[in-house]
Amino acid sequence: MAATTDDTEEHTGTPVPSPRRARRRMGPVATAISFFGELLITAGLVLGLFVAYSLWWTNVVADRAADKQAEKVRDHWAQESGGGGPVSFDSKDGIGFLHVPTMSGDEILVEKGTSMKVLNDGVAGYYTEPVKATLPTSGKKGNFSLAAHRDGHGAKFHGIHKIEKGDPIVFETKDTWYVYKVYGILPETSKFNVDVLSKIPKESGKTKAGHYITLTTCTPVYTSTYRYVVWGELVRTQKVDEERTLPEELA
């Protein structure tokens, strides 16, 4: 087999300097630039790995945790329906499931609280502070205010921008489907604007007490600078039958 042309010491007799030897022959400025370039490449790789972790792997971990908790909730419901011991509605496992077809095809487990410890498990949490949410199961007028991550950790509200006025939001409990209709959207507001969580949510257009639901999350995408807000109003309820037949809004 014929030998190929190669700029190596073996074929040309000219030694090829190693990267370290070549760097020694460079001037101080060129050496510094070369070293800085290598640092940038390394930093880029580390940053890329961090982004992959934040936007992909945290979703995987959170979805697994949420699925596990969701199974517990439905198991509790089944035990209670089957004549087992009573199950606390406001349990540590979750209180129900949120369904928003235009935002996501998945059911979203709802738990108590909006701390990172809660939301990082890939769920939506209802506010306990600074303004306490009014649970629909209480029968009282008020605002069932919720939060969830938009990116990473399950990103349950990632598609919140797809929601439009008139779209349904359905909250599922063991016994009842609560069907809301979106009436207001605030694409951007301060993260400190707690008035949007009020019993009569400010800036939503409503001036009288009612049965409201509020979804909040970070915006713009991949940041936490502002808050995106969606408001809905309860239009009807539907009792859960033995087959757990879906409301027509979800069918």
Write out the two tokens for 116. Answer: 């990172």
* Total number of residues shown for the chain: 251
pLDDT at 190: 98
Active-site residue, from 124, 163, 218, 229 = 218
93-119 per-position pLDDT tens digit = 799 999 999 999 899 999 999 999 999
**Which among 143, 180, 174 is positioned nearest to 239, based on CA atoms?**
174
Distance (Å, rounded) from C-alpha 251 to C-alpha 249? Answer: 6
- Tell me how far CA of residue 126 lies from CA of 11, 22, 56, in angstroms: 73, 62, 25
CATH of 53-239, one of 2.40.260.10, 3.40.47.10, 2.40.30.10, 3.40.50.2300: 2.40.260.10
Catalytic: 156? no
Domain locations in the chain as residue ranges? 53-239
39-82 per-position pLDDT tens digit = 666 655 555 544 554 567 788 889 999 999 999 999 989 888 75
